[in-house]
Amino acid sequence: MKRLSKNRIFGGWHERYSHQSTSTQTEMVFAIYLPPQIGEGQKVPVLYFLSGLTCTDENFSTKAGAQQYAAKYGLALVIPDTSPRGKEVADDEAYDLGQGAGFYLNASQAPWAEHYRMYDYIVDELPKLIEAHFPVTEERSIFGHSMGGHGALQIALKNPNRYASVSAFAPIVNPIDVPWGKKAFTAYLGEDKTAWAAYDSVQLLGHAQNVCPVLIDQGLSDSFYPEQLQPEIFEEKAEKKGIPICLNLREGYDHSYYFIASFVEQHIVFHAKYLGLL
């Protein structure tokens, strides 16, 4: 790994690193916030944040104000990039496909399959790297925003023993039925919708046997809410299965980081509880 930057914040350290990924076969960048508790010689659990379309690790790091709450409750934050990047990596002129729009899946179609393996990167490679090089435990939770909310939910549903809890801001819960998901899944996974279902949270919830605690926040003034997001569909499926989730519909809030910053402490408290910190 190569350290790109290190900044003192709220008594801890926010650091950025690059490394050569075996999953994506590219150089990947991630950020990690290490809270002040590690200076006391203890290891801390990890909360992973998955960002949305067009973002890098820096959007959440600089806009959400999350480090102060990670410091308060004693957990590390890990913020990966949203896709592989580089001149050799396939891309598209649109903002919702290609670099910046990895959708946290393993692509199977050309030209995407060579590098777009963000599912393997998030689930396997990155946690092993973090746990090998930083003073953290193997306890972890995951959350995300929009495309990253989709990533967090489907990853947690498929790996219930890996994560203590999952939460999301304005997630794409049923990508197989909305424009963002249809476009991305057709490109990355092909026309076979059985392959799509493996990355669709509503479909995964339908046959899930073990689900970790779930929290979702959705702004009612979010312009993407009616067509692209629709978290009530996820809530309805959970209720039919008798799976408790918490869905908060927030009057007046939109899709931006102003929304995330308003409720990020509540999400961190939620995860701190299930990570055994409260």
Other Cβ atoms within 10 Å of 120 Cβ, number: 15
User: What's the pLDDT band for 209 if we cut at 50, 70, 90?
Assistant: confident
What residue type is assigned to position 106 of the chain?
N
> In the beta sheet, which residues pair with residue 250?
219
Strand 245-250 to 214-219 pairing: parallel
DSSP alpha helix (H) spans, 159-230: 179-189, 193-197, 201-206
Q: How far is CA 86 from CA 57, 100, 249, 264, in A?
A: 16, 11, 38, 31
- Taking each continuous run of H as one helix and of E as one strand, the counts in the chain are 10, 9
Chain segment 75-88, per-residue pLDDT in tens:
999 999 999 999 99
Burial zone of 132 (CB within 10 Å; 0-12 exposed, 13-18 middle, 19+ buried): exposed
CB-based contacts of 84: which residues, under 8 Å, 6+ apart?
Answer: 21, 24, 25, 26, 28, 99, 102, 115, 116, 117, 118
Tell me which CATH code domain 2-275 carries.
Answer: 3.40.50.1820
- Mean pLDDT over the full length of the chain: 97
Sign of CA dihedral 104, 105, 111, 114: positive
CB-based contacts of 183: which residues, under 8 Å, 6+ apart?
Answer: 96, 97
User: What's the pLDDT band for 208 if we cut at 50, 70, 90?
Assistant: confident
What is the percent of the chain with per-residue pLDDT over 90, rounded to a whole number?
96
Chain segment 138-155, per-residue pLDDT in tens:
999 999 999 999 999 999
Residue 141 is predicted with a pLDDT of 98
State mean pLDDT over 207-228.
95
Residue 41 is predicted with a pLDDT of 83
Q: Which residues are catalytic?
A: 146, 222, 255
Burial zone of 66 (CB within 10 Å; 0-12 exposed, 13-18 middle, 19+ buried): buried
Cα gap 26→19, rounded to integer Å: 8
Residue 150 is predicted with a pLDDT of 98
State mean pLDDT over 206-220.
94
pTM of the model as a whole: 0.97
